[in-house]
Amino acid sequence: MAGILDGKAALVTGGGSGIGRATAIAMAREGARVAVSDLSKDGIEETVALVNAAGGQSIAIQGDVTDEAAVANMVARTVSAFGRIDCAFNNAGVAGRSVGPPGQRIHELTQPTVAKMFSVNLMGVFLCLKYEIAQMLKQGGGGAIVNTASIAGLIGLATSAHYVATKHGVVGLTKSAAVEYAQDGIRVNCVNPGYIKTPMTKETMDERYDEIMAKVPVRRLGVPEEIAEAVVWMCSDKASFMTGASHVVDGGYTAA
Ligand code: NAP
């Protein structure tokens, strides 16, 4: 049966773990050739092995999304392997615990902590958009980009102001890119996951599972595959009229 991404070439950042890995696998299942990028060499090699073992075609590109030259290289290497980029999933990100002590309110956050958060979650998405869009304009024929925002891109969360600010920023970048490049056939959307079972949420869930689940109408964590399916669809031509959207996949969290 034909896949909904047949013939397309895709780039996934944060592809060595969690949501990015599940999405790389789902994209390949739907027929895309996938360039998998991440900080961690082991993570991307594992994802590439999983994709290729399932009959897909993928390559690993190690790189830091905060480094402009590395982002330019991710795009260049994808094009040199697959000839073009039709879809991109700008998903690499960090949570509060990766950049500083957890549980801090605004008056306790330090500038280096906040700067690190902004650099990965916001500047990283900006740099990816810049180089992916430049390539899509150069090759012609449009494209589809999905950025990973969060429910934190739509609501406030206590002790996560820096994370929330970056994810609201991702929603804004997504809307502006959608408006700027609609004329070129490039669609740009974001996915807004709720709480998903990945390495990023492990410690928080170990400590606060019951408190958080009390706010989730479906009363469970999502799994990365449930985000991947939404991203694959947004990258496909089936979503041809969708651009500038924030697509919430959160078990009802923001509806409650
Ligand atoms: P994850 O399993 O930790 O995956 C995130 C990946 O991004 C990791 O492999 C990480 O590498 C990589 N990364 C971090 N900094 C990077 C950098 N500077 N350059 C390149 N790669 C970098 O977490 P996840 O839950 O799948 O998160 C994926 C995205 O979903 C993030 O943007 C996150 O904010 C968002 N999100 C997650 C949830 C959730 O509940 N899990 C909810 C809403 C939104 P290292 O591990 O080597 O640092």
Tell me which residues are annotated as active site.
163
The conformation of residue 244, written as its DSSP 8-state character, comes to S
Q: In ligand 1, which atom is closest to the CA atom of 152?
A: 43
Q: Give the distance from CA 3 to its chain's centroid.
A: 21
Q: How far is the CA of 81 from the centre of ligand 1 (A)?
A: 25
Whether the CB of 56 sits within 6 Å of ligand 1: no
Q: In ligand 1, which atom is closest to the CA atom of 148?
A: 32
**117-127 pLDDT, tens digit each:** 999 999 999 99
**228-255 pLDDT, tens digit each:** 999 999 999 999 999 999 999 999 999 9
Who contacts 172 (Cβ-Cβ below 8 Å, separation ≥6)?
none
Whether the CB of 19 sits within 6 Å of ligand 1: yes
Whether the CB of 39 sits within 6 Å of ligand 1: yes
- For atom 41 of ligand 1, which residue has the closest CA? 196
pLDDT value of position 78? 98
Q: How far is the CA of 14 from the centre of ligand 1 (A)?
A: 6
Pocket test for ligand 1, best of 11, 13, 38, 97 (most atoms within 8 A of CB): 38
Q: What percent of the chain has pLDDT over 90?
A: 100
Domain contains 166:
yes
Domain contains 3:
no
| Residues 54, 47: Cα–Cα separation, whole Å | 11
Which two structure tokens, joined as six digits, stand for 32? 């895309």
| Residues 64, 67: Cα–Cα separation, whole Å | 6
Q: What are phi and psi of 37, to 5 degrees?
A: -120, 150
Pocket test for ligand 1, best of 198, 213, 216 (most atoms within 8 A of CB): 198
Band of pLDDT at residue 219, cut at 50, 70 and 90: very high
CB distance 150 to 167 below 8 Å = yes
Residue 131 has pLDDT above 90, yes or no: yes
- Give the count of domains, the chain: 1
Residue 182 has pLDDT above 90, yes or no: yes
| DSSP-H helix ranges across 83-145 | 96-99, 111-118, 124-139
Band of pLDDT at residue 1, cut at 50, 70 and 90: confident
| Residues 96, 164: Cα–Cα separation, whole Å | 10
Mean pLDDT of the chain: 98
| Full domain range(s) for residue 146 | 9-255
Whether the CB of 64 sits within 6 Å of ligand 1: yes
Domain contains 2:
no
Domain contains 100:
yes
Q: In ligand 1, which atom is closest to the CA atom of 93?
A: 32
Domain contains 116:
yes
Q: Helix (H, G, I), strand (E, B), or coil: what is residue 56?
A: coil
Strand order in the sheet with 57-62: 57-62, 33-38, 9-13, 87-90, 143-148, 186-193, 246-249
Q: How far is the CA of 119 from the centre of ligand 1 (A)?
A: 13
* CA distances (Å), origin 253, targets 10, 31, 39, 220, 222: 30, 32, 30, 11, 11
Domain contains 162:
yes
Whether the CB of 200 sits within 6 Å of ligand 1: yes
Q: How far is the CA of 197 from the centre of ligand 1 (A)?
A: 12
* CA distances (Å), origin 135, targets 63, 108, 246: 18, 41, 24
Who contacts 3 (Cβ-Cβ below 8 Å, separation ≥6)?
29, 30, 31, 32
Averaged pLDDT for residues 85-93: 98
Q: How far is the CA of 183 from the centre of ligand 1 (A)?
A: 31
CATH number at residue 159: 3.40.50.720
